[in-house]
Amino acid sequence: MAKNDMHREWALKTRGQEESGALVESVVEILDCAALCFTEMGFQGTSIDDVARRLGATKGRIYHYFRSKTDLFFEVHREGMRRLMHAVGEAMSAGGTGREKLVRMLEAHALTMMQNIAYEAVVVQGVHMHRLGATTPEQRISLDELMDIRHKFELLFVEAFRQGQADRSIRQDADVSLAVKGMLGAVNWMAIWYRPRSGEAPEQQRAMARRITELQIGGIAG
């Protein structure tokens, strides 16, 4: 499902309004601004006022779609995972050996991180919130749902890895869980250190994604 289609479905479900391109665009604009605010100031340091100022709108526009700052944060987190799932799912569906799939998936993961760094930084914040238990019971339910999406994301890589072991394109003695968590951890850490340079071209990002993938794949090649 395309990004705008997902937002259209979400907006219609939560607001009960007729389908509208303007409606979808409005939600995306709010999420974009919120992602930047949460990345720069953290969850605790960000207010709806901050998001509204960056958006150049009133708080009412945000509250029209989101009940609270927490709901907005969770939706940014959810959108970050949607983008990763979409990119990696497409890379996985192209076929090939397990290793070939894994290479494409890791490159797609790294490239999506770079292209959506604010969203993916919020995903990392959400993971820390979950592990620290710094949430209310209601928030915990939402975070548990988001962690389930993250687990399903990891299982895509586990599946490709096991296929690679079966077709001998990946080392037979490699520990699947340890290898996958290590590879994903390395790419996910980009949310902490990566910031796009001024004038950075898409091809430069793709080259960096390939290099990061090469470093991860080198240790498990069959």
Q: Report pLDDT for 122.
A: 94
Q: What is the pLDDT of residue 133?
A: 67
Range of the domain at 38: 1-66
| 62 lies in the same domain as 80 | no
Beta-bridged to residue 79, according to DSSP, are none
The residue among 90, 150, 92, 97 whose CA lies nearest residue 120 is: 150
Q: 3-class SS at 194?
A: coil
pLDDT at 141: 83
pLDDT at residue number 10 = 45
Residues 145 and 81 in one domain: yes
Q: Which of 50, 66, 82 is the last residue of a domain?
A: 66
Count of structural domains within the chain: 2
Q: What was the pLDDT predicted at 3?
A: 47
- Out of 66, 93, 122, a domain closes at 66
Domain limit, last residue, from 22, 40, 66: 66
Over the chain (222 residues), what is each successive 10-residue block's mean pLDDT? Answer: 48 44 75 96 95 95 93 94 96 95 97 96 86 72 87 96 96 93 94 90 95 86 59
Do residues 217 and 179 touch, judged by C-beta distance below 8 A?
A: no
**What's the predicted TM-score (pTM) here?**
0.84
Domain of 74, CATH number, reads 1.10.357.10
Region label for 133, one of left (φ > 0), alpha (ψ between -120 and 50) or beta (otherwise): left
Same domain, 47 and 107: no
Q: What is the pLDDT of residue 81?
A: 94
Query: Which pLDDT score is estimated for 135?
Result: 66
